[in-house]
């Protein structure tokens, strides 16, 4: 065994793996991006397609990534080099690293907002504000471009700090305790939201589907959101899979993570839409949907002041456990493939992310120069990574496992060399080999044509 391999970090316990993978999955994607996408894509119909995506594609793709990672014990690029030496497959890994970098760049913008909102919550600046005032504050904040960049920089620094400390100590410890707490606070918020006057309109927006709304755009958005939310298609779970021990059960890990992530997303929908309809916020309001609605719900709650602070702190932490995994993909690549030591890999990756990411932040100002063809740099980064690179990465990953790695090795990995039962392995492999590649391609192409 090489020196480098012996030194690889690993997750300590079963709950640690699930917590870390769920920490990667659960983040702004669930609480911020999911309601935005749902609101912009017709509500309940989107939810249905989304659920189909996460169940039928999410689980197989996630399991494929974990299998690749654990079998190869390598970063996203190294994994393909090891499992398919001297082939073009490593391109999938490079695509993943690039995608991780792009996502981190714009994701850190919104992550930074969570810090601003913690300050706002602490200073009680939401108190008594109506919708117009709340919206004004939100857009004023966007127009303070450099303030956005400052928070973004702080967030990137925090992420770098945790990643530099390493897998075992950094990620695992934080994720384990805090994600369940987020669930609890969302449940409390959900109860308040559905009991607001006029909430039923939001509930029917969320749960009564109008099937005529399902078109190519809805399909690709649901696919992109599913991959984004589950952290799939860019090697984050290949990288995390490589830290999982040989005796751990990959299938149950994939199921637990998909379940937890989906629960949080649906719960976020249940928090946002009934309240948004009650306050008169349009479901298509985009960015403001979440950042304006949530403080307004807290304004209507006893103890809202404290809950609001706790909520934004937890949201920041949820974002952090996701940015950690984004940065980890890049750092694991730089340190293992390019042999730059972990400290400098982290520093360079963070500096580069801040540089590119600041364009995303500054592109949200009014009259920004950073827009191309009417789309902000932020939107472009989001669109290219989530709706193009992730599905493309996902399809290549399942093709790799289904056709190149093959059934025998896949079964060996999911049964831990025959020592545990994985009763769904045949069905899942069938999906990986045939259904998932076809389904992802169809959705992807229909979205592009649309």
Q: Which residue has the tokens 């992807």?
A: 444
Q: What is 11-38 written as a DSSP string? A: --SHHHHHHHHHHHHSSHIIIIIHHHHH
CB of 199 or CB of 330, closer to ligand PFF: 330
Residue 58 or 100: which CB sits closer to ligand PFF? Answer: 100
- Residue 28 vs 254, nearer CB to ligand PFF: 28
For residue 194, the cross-strand partners are none
- Pick the closest to residue 398 from 439, 424, 438, 436 (CA basis): 436
Q: Which is nearer to ligand PFF, 110 or 422 (CB)?
A: 110
Contact between 149 and ligand PFF per CB under 6 A: no
Nearest partner of 241 among 420, 3, 60, 21, judged by Cα: 21
Q: Can you tell me which of 152, 322, 358, 361 binds ligand PFF, judged by CB under 6 A? A: 322
Q: Does 103 participate in binding ligand PFF (rule CB under 6 A)?
A: yes
Does the footprint of ligand PFF cover residue 240 (CB under 6 A)? no
What binding mask, one character per residue, do residues 62-101 give for ligand PFF by CB under 6 A, x or -?
A: --------------------------------------x-
Quick check: 174 binds ligand PFF (CB under 6 A)? no
Closest residue to bound ligand PFF by CB: 29
| Residue 361 C-beta: closest distance to ligand PFF, Å | 17
| Two structure tokens written together for 102 | 């792009």
108 part of the interface to ligand PFF, by CB under 6 A: no
**Separation of alpha carbons 46 and 210, rounded Å:** 9
Closest separation in Å from C-beta 396 to ligand PFF:
15
Name 133's Cβ contacts closer than 8 Å, sequence gap at least 6: none
**Of 219-238, which residues contact ligand PFF (CB under 6 A)?**
228-229, 231, 234, 236
d(CA 217, CA 448): 8
Residue 270 touches ligand PFF, criterion: CB under 6 A:
no
Binding mask 13-52 for ligand PFF (x = CB under 6 A): -----------xx-xxxx----------------------
Q: Which two tokens stand for residue 297?
A: 């719900």
Q: Which residues of 380-404 are buried (b: 16+ CB within 10 A; e: fewer)?
A: bbbeebbbbbbbbbbbbbbbbbbee
Nearest one of 51, 103, 49, 70 to 231, comparing CA atoms = 103
Residue from 61, 271, 326, 443 touching ligand PFF (CB under 6 A): that is: 326
Burial tier of 373 (Cβ tally within 10 Å: 0-12, 13-18, 19+): exposed
Three-class DSSP category at 211: helix
Interacting residues with ligand PFF (CB under 6 A): 24-25, 27-30, 100, 103, 228-229, 231, 234, 236, 322, 325-326
């Amino acid at each position: 065994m090489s020196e480098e391999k012996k030194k690889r970090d690993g997750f300590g316990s079963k709950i640690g793996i699930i917590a870390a993978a769920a920490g990667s999955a659960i983040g702004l994607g669930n609480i911020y991006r999911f309601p935005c996408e749902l609101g912009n894509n017709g509500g309940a119909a989107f939810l249905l397609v989304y659920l189909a995506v996460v169940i039928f594609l999410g689980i197989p793709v996630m399991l494929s990534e974990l299998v690749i990672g654990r079998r190869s014990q390598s970063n996203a690029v190294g994994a393909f080099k090891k499992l398919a030496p001297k082939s073009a497959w490593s391109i999938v890994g490079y695509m993943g690293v690039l995608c991780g970098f792009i996502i981190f760049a714009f994701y850190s913008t919104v992550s930074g907002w969570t810090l601003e909102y913690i300050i706002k919550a602490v200073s009680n600046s939401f108190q008594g504000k109506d919708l117009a005032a709340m919206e004004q504050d939100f857009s004023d904040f966007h127009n303070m471009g450099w303030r956005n960049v400052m928070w973004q920089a702080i967030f990137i620094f925090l992420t770098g700090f945790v990643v530099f400390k390493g897998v075992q100590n950094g990620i695992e410890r934080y994720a384990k305790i805090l994600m369940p707490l987020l669930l609890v606070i969302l449940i409390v918020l959900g109860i308040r939201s559905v009991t607001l006057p006029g909430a039923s309109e939001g509930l029917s927006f969320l749960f009564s589907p109008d099937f005529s709304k399902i078109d190519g755009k809805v399909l690709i958005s649901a696919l992109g959101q599913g991959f984004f939310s589950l952290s799939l298609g860019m090697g984050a779970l290949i990288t995390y899979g490589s830290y999982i021990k040989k005796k751990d059960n990959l299938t149950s890990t994939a199921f637990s993570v998909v379940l937890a992530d989906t629960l949080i997303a649906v719960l976020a929908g249940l928090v946002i839409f009934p309240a948004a309809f009650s306050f008169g916020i349009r479901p298509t309001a985009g960015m403001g949907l979440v950042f304006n609605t949530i403080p307004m719900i807290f304004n209507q709650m006893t103890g809202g002041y404290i809950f609001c602070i706790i909520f934004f702190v937890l949201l920041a932490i949820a974002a952090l456990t996701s940015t950690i995994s984004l940065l980890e993909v890049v750092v694991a690549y730089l340190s293992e493939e390019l042999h730059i030591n972990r400290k400098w890999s982290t520093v360079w990756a963070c500096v580069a992310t801040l540089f590119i990411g600041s364009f995303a932040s500054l592109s949200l100002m009014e009259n920004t120069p950073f827009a191309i063809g009417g789309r902000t740099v932020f939107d472009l980064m989001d669109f290219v990574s989530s709706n193009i690179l992730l599905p493309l990465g996902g399809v290549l990953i399942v093709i790799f496992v289904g056709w190149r790695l093959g059934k025998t090795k896949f079964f060996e990995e999911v049964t831990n060399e025959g020592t545990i039962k994985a009763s769904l392995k045949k069905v899942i492999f069938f999906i990986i080999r045939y259904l998932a590649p076809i389904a992802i391609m169809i959705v992807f192409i229909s979205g592009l044509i649309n």
